[in-house]
Amino acid sequence: MSSGTHDIQKESKKYLIVFGGLLILTVITVLASNLKIGVTVGVTLALIIASIKGGLVACCFMHLSSEKRPIYLVLILTAIFFICMLFLIFAAHYNLPEGAHYVS
């Protein structure tokens, strides 16, 4: 029975660490929203922070960290898709029509 209690304490500690990480990342998100940076950099920063937070939630609360190989392949494809989306954001930023500009 003591091993069950130890497992619960171990899991509770893991959840508290992930909660702390999510709390810190939320504070970073709020601080980053107050920065005077361009739209492209702001969106990129927000997507990176959101991806880290989503990864923490998926690995811990959805128990994906203990899954088999196909799950990791799907996660890798998702990461590749995410990087492609970031590339498209940057490409769109530098491919404005003549005379157009972003409003900061």
22 confidence band (pLDDT: 50, 70, 90): very high
23 confidence band (pLDDT: 50, 70, 90): very high
**DSSP secondary structure string, 4-69?**
HHHHHHHHHHHHHHHHHHHHHHHHHHHHHHTS---HHHHHHHHHHHHHHHHHHHHHHTS-GGG--H
What integer pLDDT is reported at residue 86 of this predicted model? Answer: 82
Mean pLDDT of 55-72: 79
CB atoms within 10 A of CB 53: 17
103 confidence band (pLDDT: 50, 70, 90): low
Q: Which residue has the higher pLDDT, 97 or 46?
A: 46
